[in-house]
């Protein structure tokens, strides 16, 4: 219905499935029938995705967005034919860029996993409205995108501080936190979408969740060491001995 619905993840999925070029057609800018102006979102997403493609070594020309009305059939045919020819000239995805197919797939998978994080971090720019095409190339810079991936934030629960209050596990939107009553909680890094909710909701008196930027996350505490022995219980057990 709206080009604004074309998610960054959809485009990455298309490339991951070996598609050589992706074209997105949207209504003309400033002619949106709604107040949402989703075509600006689509444009910003494309500008971001093109920089991401450069970052992983793909030719950004493989992704194109164009704005036109439903009455501009001739223009549509011309644009599609031009784009089709360009993609044909570029050659097969990855091969033409000298990237190994397996490596490309794994790079795309890694980035796809980070899509919610990327959208969160770049939220402001993704919602901006660029009035002048000359501004397009400046919205996202190469350095910025390189930094985005080299400084990816991860969240980690400090086993020394976690008091198993379960707040984070209840609030995590993707059930990435493993825990339970009297069990030190652990983040499943494979499932975590880096939304930061656990960091926000962990009670200040515990401050058990830490943010790690651009560094490896410590390994999770082994399952057999996750039970928290409360001091009162420990004392009662000692008194009984
Ligand atoms: S950062 Fe978000 S997704 Fe990741 S564990 Fe915390 S709440 Fe869950
Ligand atoms: S909110 Fe904090 S203290 Fe509570 S279970 Fe999660 S990490 Fe542990």
* Alpha-carbon dihedral angle through residues 169, 159, 193, 136, given to the nearest 10 degrees: 130
Atom of ligand 1 at shortest range from CA of 209: 6
Pocket flag, ligand 2, residue 165 (CB < 6 Å)? yes
For ligand 2, the distance from its centroid to the CA atom of residue 167, given in whole angstroms, is 6
Express each pLDDT in 75-134 by its tens digit. 999 999 999 999 999 999 999 999 999 999 999 999 999 999 999 999 999 999 998 888
Pocket flag, ligand 1, residue 209 (CB < 6 Å)? no
Express each pLDDT in 180-205 by its tens digit. 999 999 999 999 999 999 999 999 99
For ligand 1, the distance from its centroid to the CA atom of residue 136, given in whole angstroms, is 32
Express each pLDDT in 129-183 by its tens digit. 998 888 998 999 999 999 999 999 999 999 999 999 999 999 999 999 999 999 9
For ligand 2, the distance from its centroid to the CA atom of residue 185, given in whole angstroms, is 7
Pocket flag, ligand 2, residue 164 (CB < 6 Å)? yes
Q: How many residues does the chain have?
A: 241
Q: What is the mean pLDDT of the chain?
A: 93
Pocket flag, ligand 1, residue 116 (CB < 6 Å)? no
C-alpha–C-alpha distance, residues 241 and 237, integer Å = 7
Express each pLDDT in 46-78 by its tens digit. 999 999 999 999 999 999 999 999 899 999 999
**Angle at the Cα of 192 from the Cα atoms of 190 and 194, rounded to 5 degrees:** 135
Pocket flag, ligand 2, residue 202 (CB < 6 Å)? yes
Cβ(115)–Cβ(49) below 8 Å: no
Tokens of 224: 């057999």
For position 36, what pLDDT does the model report? 86
For ligand 2, the distance from its centroid to the CA atom of residue 15, given in whole angstroms, is 39
Strands 153-157 and 63-67: unpaired
């Amino acid at each position: 219905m709206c080009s604004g619905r074309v998610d960054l993840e959809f485009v990455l999925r298309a490339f991951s499935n070996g598609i050589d070029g992706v074209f997105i057609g949207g209504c003309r800018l400033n002619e949106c029938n709604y107040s949402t102006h989703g075509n600006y979102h689509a444009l910003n997403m494309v500008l971001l995705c093109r920089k991401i493609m450069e970052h992983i070594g793909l030719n950004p020309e493989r992704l194109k967005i164009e704005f036109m009305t439903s009455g501009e059939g001739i223009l549509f045919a011309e644009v599609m034919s031009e784009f089709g020819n360009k993609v044909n000239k570029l050659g097969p995805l990855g091969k033409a860029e000298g990237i190994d197919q397996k490596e490309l797939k794994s790079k795309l998978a890694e980035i796809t996993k980070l899509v919610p994080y990327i959208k969160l971090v770049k939220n402001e720019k993704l919602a901006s409205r660029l009035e002048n095409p000359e501004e397009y190339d400046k919205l996202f810079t190469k350095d910025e995108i390189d930094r985005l991936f080299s400084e990816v934030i991860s969240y980690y629960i400090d086993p020394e501080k976690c008091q198993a209050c379960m707040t984070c596990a209840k609030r995590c939107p993707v059930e990435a936190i493993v825990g339970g009553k009297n069990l030190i909680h652990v983040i499943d890094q494979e499932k975590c979408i880096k939304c930061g909710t656990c960091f926000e909701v962990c009670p200040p008196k515990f401050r058990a969740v830490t943010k790690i930027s651009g560094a490896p996350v410590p390994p999770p505490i082994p399952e057999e060491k996750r039970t928290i022995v409360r001091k009162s219980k420990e004392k009662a057990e000692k008194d009984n001995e």
